[in-house]
Amino acid sequence: MDVQVTGKALKELACDALVVGAIRSKTEQSTNGVILSQAAKEVDAVLGGLLTGICSGGEFQGSLGEMTTIYTMGKLTAKRVIVVGLGPQDALNAQTLRRASAIATRHLQQTGAHQVVLALFLDGMPVEEELAAQAQVEGALLGTYTFKKYLHSDDNGRGITKIWLVPAKASTTSLEQAMHKGSVLAEATNFARDLVNEPPNVLTPTELANRASAMAEQFGLECEILERTQMQELGMGGLLGVSQGSAEPPKFIILRYQSASKSSDKGMALVGKGITFDTGGISLKPAERMDEMKGDMAGAAAVIGAMQAIASLKPAVNVTALVSTTENMPSGTAYRPGDILRIMNGKTIEIVNTDAEGRLVLADALSYASKEGLSPIIDVATLTGAVVVALGNTSAGLFSNDTKLSDEIIAAGKVTGEKFWPMPMDAEYGEQVKSDIADIKQTGGRAAGSVTAAKILEHFVGDAKWAHLDIAGTSYVDSKKPYQEKGATGMAVRTLAELAMQMEK
């Protein structure tokens, strides 16, 4: 999809659809509580007050994602105009623009539009025009994402190919930069979504490593893939233990971004859980919805996607991505409850449930990051069902040993529209994962399951500042939304990239 700022006036832009914004106001009485954007007012004037009429009649109220379509009958060069609601005035932010843009473009794609003009920005919004432009582009690229490569095509050439943005008062150059940032971030997110949506027979650990390596080649990152023998030399007993029941070989993926200006700094680490299919192993999961466990590598996808964005946006900070990837399968060679595994940093873990595999593969990757002296370390994982119980599909769990880092992640998430909720890490929770026969017990029972999982990870980060993002509830939507397809969300890609950009300051 090609995105561009246009110098043309609204009335002269030949396109399939022009999208204008409108907000819901508490005070405005004249148009039944709807405030039209400047672009919407221009359209209204050309169409002799048609829009104001629709609002006054109560047909359109401006709630978030609400749409009304107007056919222009040759009075405008745009074939149709979509008025999209941005919701209540006091709740306006970049995320409402992103959502409204996603909903409108998704609808347009499904109804055959190819060339679309976006003019959702309203003067007086609490969002700078540049960020608004970025959010509209992100919305369009995220909203029109589909995963149909295994479907016999019935799309009849549907697809938006071109997006123009109409400037209000910002310069073309600054808007173009913002739009570029938006498309880089959205494309990286869609790359991560593809990885998660791929079926597990295709996206094996080997294929995940291949795709990471191809991306690294294309975007100029260093890439190293460790094989089983190297894992053995390093003592990665967690990753090796989980993988021993699988016919597919495990991989340890390392991607390095070196900033031109910060050559001496070790920099930060992004660590991802890459279970390409989680059956639960010997502690087998129930059949119902087990297919969704192809998405148990969404943390890996998030960090690989973030690296793609970082490679394009080139922040002045060094970043290393570390991904442990394997299947978790039951078999005659599988690891068992009762086994004791030794992690790369020397600590031992008593296995009680082979379905708690994520913490084991992460423990090795965190040890690796800590041994390399990387800080902060941020890991991303679909780690626990317990975080879904606690926070549902709205917020990811955020666990950290550093309040400042935790605040920075939450702040970056406010920019990207991704929510992270801080969870407690008190020492008392650590009591639940003490073992009589090993340094650590693998699980701490049902109570505070997502917290005790994080307490285990904490054993492997050494002195580094560290945060753990549990995205089990937020990485996947099981039904389609007006703003996105059923399946992978690409959760955390944009926040990790945003965070890297803020770290440079």
Question: Which residues are catalytic, by number?
Answer: 285, 359
Q: Which of residues 314-353 bind ligand BES (CB under 6 A)?
A: 353
Nearest-approach distance from CB 221 to Zn ion, in angstroms: 26
Cα separation values, 112 from 13, 47, 82, 116, 157, Å? 18, 23, 14, 11, 8
Q: Which of 129, 207, 350, 355 binds Mn ion (CB under 5 A)?
A: 355
Minimum CB distance to Mn ion smaller for 78 or for 349: 349
Size of the site for Zn ion (CB under 5 A): 4
Q: Which of residues 383-402 bind ligand BES (CB under 6 A)?
A: 383-386, 388
The listed partner (Mn ion, ligand BES, Zn ion, none) that binds 245, CB under 5 to 8 Å by sort, is: none
CB contact at 8 A, 132 and 120? yes
CA 369 – CA 467 distance, rounded (Å): 13
DSSP string, 60-85: ----TT-EEEEE-TTSSSEEEEEEEE
CA 200 – CA 196 distance, rounded (Å): 9
CA 165 – CA 116 distance, rounded (Å): 9
Phi-psi region of 174 (alpha: psi -120 to 50; beta: other; left: phi over 0): alpha
Size of the site for ligand BES (CB under 6 A): 16
The listed partner (ligand BES, Zn ion, Mn ion, none) that binds 360, CB under 5 to 8 Å by sort, is: none
Nearest-approach distance from CB 275 to Zn ion, in angstroms: 5
CA 412 – CA 466 distance, rounded (Å): 16
Q: Which of 296, 327, 350, 485 binds Zn ion (CB under 5 A)?
A: 296
Nearest-approach distance from CB 296 to Zn ion, in angstroms: 4
Minimum CB distance to Zn ion smaller for 379 or for 498: 379
Q: Tell me: does residue 355 bind ligand BES (CB under 6 A).
A: yes
Q: Which of residues 230-259 bind ligand BES (CB under 6 A)?
A: none
408, amino acid identity: E
CA 56 – CA 42 distance, rounded (Å): 17
Q: Which of 358, 417, 473, 487 binds Zn ion (CB under 5 A)?
A: 358
Q: Which of residues 280-309 bind ligand BES (CB under 6 A)?
A: 296
Minimum CB distance to ligand BES smaller for 454 or for 501: 454
CA 299 – CA 414 distance, rounded (Å): 20
Using only C-alpha atoms, the chain has a radius of gyration, in whole angstroms, of 24
Nearest-approach distance from CB 472 to ligand BES, in angstroms: 4
Q: Which residue is nearest to Mn ion (CB)?
A: 355
Q: Tell me: does residue 433 bind ligand BES (CB under 6 A).
A: no
Q: Where would I find the H helices in 198-254?
A: 205-219, 228-234, 237-243
Q: Tell me: does residue 472 bind ligand BES (CB under 6 A).
A: yes
Minimum CB distance to ligand BES smaller for 133 or for 383: 383
Q: What secondary structure letter does DSSP report for 18? A: E
Q: Which of 129, 278, 418, 458 binds Mn ion (CB under 5 A)?
A: 278
Minimum CB distance to ligand BES smaller for 172 or for 353: 353
Tokens of 81: 């105009």
Cα-Cα end-to-end distance for the chain: 32
| Distance from chain centroid for Cα 154 | 28
Q: Which of residues 15-54 bind ligand BES (CB under 6 A)?
A: none
Q: Which of residues 357-386 bind ligand BES (CB under 6 A)?
A: 357-358, 382-386
Minimum CB distance to ligand BES smaller for 38 or for 328: 328
Number of neighbouring beta carbons within 10 Å of residue 369: 28
Query: What residues make contact with ligand BES under the rule CB under 6 A?
Result: 278, 296, 353, 355-358, 382-386, 388, 443, 449, 472
Chain residues binding Zn ion by CB under 5 A are 275, 278, 296, 358
